[in-house]
Amino acid sequence: MNRWDDKLWLFTPEEYCKLPDGIVLTSINGTTYIKGIDYIDMDVRFGHIAFGIESPTTHPEKELFAIFMLTQT
């Protein structure tokens, strides 16, 4: 995960694959998408896709996001 702005954290393609279907993602333009339902463009720039989440420390999947942050290289 990498911070995009003051709110949004973006995922790598590998992290995205580990996300559960049904999770709501926010694109860098502010539009929300649902993994497993909506089309997610997997275009990678600087190692990250243009989709992520806001407030990873208070999100229901915060334990998974903590693992992502701790395993960054």
pLDDT score of 73: 60
The ranges assigned to domains in the chain are 2-70
pLDDT score of 15: 96
At 16-66, the pLDDT tens digits run 999 999 999 999 999 999 999 999 999 999 999 999 999 999 999 999 999
Within a 10 A sphere around the Cβ of 29, how many other Cβ atoms? Answer: 6
pLDDT score of 72: 78
Amino acid at residue number 19 = L
For 18, list phi and psi in degrees, rounded to 5.
Answer: -85, -10
